[in-house]
Amino acid sequence: MGVAALAATLALLFGGVFRHDRTAIASSALPTAVVEQLQRGFATGDTAALVTGLQSELRADPGSVKTWGSLGLAYEQRARETGDSTYYGKAEGALRRALSLRPNDLVATAGLGQLALSRHRFTEALRLGQQARAISPTTAGVYGVIGDAEIELGRYGPAFRDFNRMAALKPDVSSYSRVSYARELIGRTAAAVQAMQLAVSASVGEREAGAWTRVQLGLLYLSTGRPRLAAIEMRQALQLFPGYAFGLDGMAQTQVALGHVPVALRYEQEAVDRIPLPQYVGLLGDLYHASGNQAAAQQQYSLIGDIERLLAANGVRNDLDIALFDVDHGIRLQHALALARQGFTFRPSVFGDDVLGWALARNGSCAEALHYSRLSLRLGTRDAVKYFHRGMIERCLGRNDEARTWFKRALALNPHFSVLWAPVARRLA
């Protein structure tokens, strides 16, 4: 992105005064005529009952486009709540049935876009988001679908403009949280915190939305080395929504930063028991490793492959995530590099740059790794993990003074950025 283009983007991103709007569904960006019905189901945490009710309605009226669309969105929420990726196929079936009845249905089109995002199929998500925008250019949520896809495709200028448009149309949890992420990407973490605080305020009265925004705010604090502030947010999230898996995982990360690994282990175990997401299982394994229980760590690590295969069977493209786990843990490094290259073609973002650079470095291709490391930091993102990877790449190239500078930057930003790698950075710095 050129300097002039970036400056114009920032003017758009920061140029408005946001209003508070308390109408929102968790972290969803979907435009919907059934938002009130979905909110009732999601807010009570009884989405399963909502699904059952919608199925009953469809038996009585199988031609209801609105009900098919609502069911598709409810299935997407069930996938998010349970981690069961088989709901993705059910969501797609319901949403495509709605489109077969009404080809230009906004809810179904945007819902399929959101589903494509969940499956990491970002080119498809962008196409569907653009179709939804053509149907209703004044519906805020379609810009969230488009912008999310653009972020993962490395199209940051257009993404930031779309987030700004979304916030102008409807300042709510969805738009505030996206503006927060955009600001985080460009290294404006204080401004990112401000936007997420607005998201917290906008979520008042919605249990899941309130818990989700507090977890995100806590993670922002954690990423900049403020674990005590993070702990406050995670605690409030879990008070608002006891047993909330995102909050349990966030609290586990926070307890690591506070030096309480046994406490972190208990929180992460509970998160895994509720939703066995690969990142939760991986962190649980790392915590067992840090505690000296290598058998338990290996038991958790061995589950990752099974979970990833289940995700792939349900249409989720997770090449970069698998590659990152394998590279971090020294598993089949050449295969991990091939996965990283493949994943990068579908997700040419700063995340893709970082994973590919790290995979190259771990395979000894350090000069090429440096190229991608530089790209991963091109937006000015303040990320201790990316700083650490850069340090390891500089060290691989024999530039030990530069390496120490990057290790110190990582530790200064977040001394506990990784259970596995923060101790390595302290030793090498």
pLDDT above 80 for 371: yes
Specify the pLDDT at position 375: 98
pLDDT number for residue 4: 35
Out of 26-40, 103-117, 312-326, 396-410, which region has the weakest mean confidence (pLDDT)? 26-40
pLDDT at 44: 44
Long-range contacts, stretch 385-391, CB < 8 angstroms, 24+ apart: 385/354, 385/410, 385/417, 385/418, 385/421, 386/350, 386/354, 387/413, 388/417, 388/418, 388/421, 388/422, 388/424, 388/425, 389/354, 389/357, 389/358, 389/361, 391/425, 391/428
Q: Where are the domains of the chain?
A: 322-428
Its CATH architecture, for the domain 322-428, is: Alpha Horseshoe (1.25)
Inform me whether the pLDDT recorded for 113 exceeds 90: yes
Radius of gyration of the chain (CA): 21
Residue 243 has pLDDT above 80, yes or no: yes
Q: What is the pLDDT of residue 229?
A: 98
pLDDT at 39: 41
Confidence band of 84 (pLDDT split at 50, 70, 90) = confident
Residues 6+ apart with CB under 8 A from 409: 384, 387, 391
Res 114 pLDDT > 90: yes
What per-residue confidence (pLDDT) applies to 45? 52
Q: What is the mean pLDDT of residues 260-267?
A: 97
pLDDT at 315: 87
Alpha carbons 204 and 222: distance in angstroms, whole number = 23
Question: pLDDT for 51-69, tens place per residue?
Answer: 999 999 999 999 999 999 9
pLDDT value of residue 308: 83
Q: Encoding tokens for residue 159? A: 């993404």
For the chain, give the longest Cα–Cα distance. 71
Across 4-8, 37-41, 152-156, which has the greatest mean pLDDT?
152-156
pTM of the model: 0.88
Residue 334, pLDDT > 90, answer: yes
At 83, the pLDDT band (50, 70, 90 cuts) reads confident
Among 289, 288, 219, 285, which residue's Cα sits nearest to residue 257? Answer: 219
Whether the predicted pLDDT of 310 surpasses 70: yes
pLDDT at residue 126 above 90?
A: yes
Residue 20 DSSP class: P
* Region 203-220 average pLDDT: 93
User: Is 50 exceeded by the pLDDT of residue 31?
Assistant: no
pLDDT number for residue 118: 94
CB neighbour list of residue 214: distance below 8 Å, 6 or more residues apart: 200, 233, 234, 236, 237, 240, 247
Provide the pLDDT confidence category of residue 329 given band limits of 50, 70 and 90: very high
Average pLDDT for the chain = 89
275-312 burial by CB neighbour count: b if 16+ within 10 A, else e? Answer: bbbbebbbbbbbbbbbeeeeebbeebbebbeebbebbe
If residue 370 lies in a helix (H) or strand (E), which one and from where to where? helix 366-376
pLDDT for res 351: 97
